[in-house]
Amino acid sequence: MNETTWESYAAAAVERALALGNRGPARLDDDGHLLQDILDAYRKNGFYVFTGVLDDEEVGELTAEFDEVLDNVPTKLHGDTDRHGRPSPYGGYFTMIEDEDDPEAPARVSLLSHPFIYMESALRVYAHPTILAIAESLYGPDFVPFHEGIFYKAPGNGFPTRWHQDGRTHWTEDGKSLENPDGTGKCHGYNMSVSWSNCTADNCLWVVPGSHRHWRLANGGKFPPITERLPDAVPMLLAPGDCGIVNRSALHGSYPNTSAERRVTMVLGFHKRSSAIGATTVNVHAFKIPGVDTKEITYTEDYVLRRARMIPLAIDARRQHRADETPFHYRGSYLGDAQWNDATRAEISREGDEYWQRDITL
């Protein structure tokens, strides 16, 4: 990409992004739900940036624990030791990419999947009262989980993410969204990016506002290549502690990170329970490394409610860590013990029955 042309493109896109009216603090009413103007802006644009959700202490905890994990990634694809020669026990959860032009160079990590297994700070932030209030505001008290991962775009050589729409289930044959403009109807849920880095136009996720109403793959359509600078796309700008939600039906992607600043965002998300139970789809997330394998599945109530258990477990983990904070009250149904302790810590990572075995792709 020509640097001058990119700078001009990015500057114009930043200006458009800041004029959309879809960013600011998570303002809640007396019932703990998002105010209507926020809901309207999200539903119109297909994404919203909530500023200042995490405090500095929590950003510091996430940064410190993530940097420890990053220092322990294997040096080679399918490797089991890090650059210090230490065992890398969670290497199987990391998407590693080798340099085809330099086979001797260390492999680079671009995605760290299912962080609740190895980052308790990630589990605690999952239960942040504001994060869960956002989910309840959009999907009601019985919202259920989607999937979690950490996107890492290294400074100077961060890999791009292709333009795509995540939703694959709830469209008409002609590609019209089953989710209505007022939020009713079947939906694909949302991805939330929890940031503990500066997400700039050079390294962040880009979204096409309003693109969540139509499926690009309908009637033989295709997604544009990430090399194409879409004229209506805008960057989802985040500071450390900000959280941005993107409708999973929206067209989004990220350009290569050639900047000097890394991007670290944990992606989590939630679904409307009525959109999940009974849905038949191809699941790409319920694997150690998502996207490598797929399976066709119809989500049963048992499957969904067992996965929903991670919400109260996270709430209890956060309650123990932040005793002075009023915990979120999850009113949805779930199956299993909701006390966070050594037994449940071991249970969610039990080989062959890990919590992520019931991730929900829609």
- What's the whole-model pTM score? 0.95
* Range in 152-156, 239-243, 314-318 with the lowest mean pLDDT: 152-156
Which residues neighbour 341 within 8 Å (Cβ) at sequence distance 6 or greater?
Answer: none
Angle between helices 129-139 and 36-45 (to 10 degrees): 70
Number of CB atoms found within 10 A of residue 9's CB = 18
Whether the CB-CB separation of 269 and 190 falls below 8 Å is answered with yes
**Which strand (E) or helix (H) includes residue 116?**
none
- In angstroms, how far is the first alpha carbon of the chain from the final one? 34
Query: pLDDT tens digit string along 26-38?
Result: 999 999 999 999 9
Q: What is the largest CA-CA distance in the chain?
A: 58
Query: pLDDT tens digit string along 161-205?
Result: 999 999 989 999 999 999 999 999 999 999 999 999 999 999 999
Q: Flag whether pLDDT at 4 surpasses 80.
A: no
* DSSP E strand stretches across the chain: 23-24, 47-50, 94-97, 108-113, 144-145, 149-153, 161-164, 190-195, 206-207, 234-235, 243-247, 252-254, 263-271, 280-283, 295-298
Query: pLDDT tens digit string along 218-268?
Result: 999 999 999 999 999 999 999 999 999 999 999 999 999 999 999 999 999
Query: Residue 355 in 3-state DSSP?
Result: helix
Query: pLDDT tens digit string along 101-137?
Result: 677 778 889 999 999 999 999 999 999 999 999 999 9
Query: pLDDT tens digit string along 338-353?
Result: 999 999 999 999 999 9
